[in-house]
Structure 1
Amino acid sequence: MIRTILAALVLASAPALAIAECSRGHQQAMSCADGMIWDKDSKSCTSATG
């Protein structure tokens, strides 16, 4: 009986733990329009020619 309850708790909490682990440590890639490049200092897209 105890094993069944523990197994149910583990299975019920697994999705929440997976979501928490997945969102940690990831960065989303920044994309700029054509002719623009990402400037790390200003943290924005700037003209590639200037």
Structure 2
Amino acid sequence: MTPLALALSLALLVGGLILFEYLAREDLGLDLLFFERTVLRMAPDLPGRPSPL
């Protein structure tokens, strides 16, 4: 698998998981996995959202 294909696959996987979070109203913790301190500081009342905006 080429590096480009790997990067695109990862982007598709993360995007699909975020879409699943919204549709199923589940919190998989993806936002905390990547940006824990930032998310907890900026939006402690919005779990499961990749952006507090």
Q: TM-score, normalised by structure 2?
A: 0.33
* Greater relative contact order (Cα < 8 A, sep 6+): 2
| Higher strand content, 1 or 2 | 1
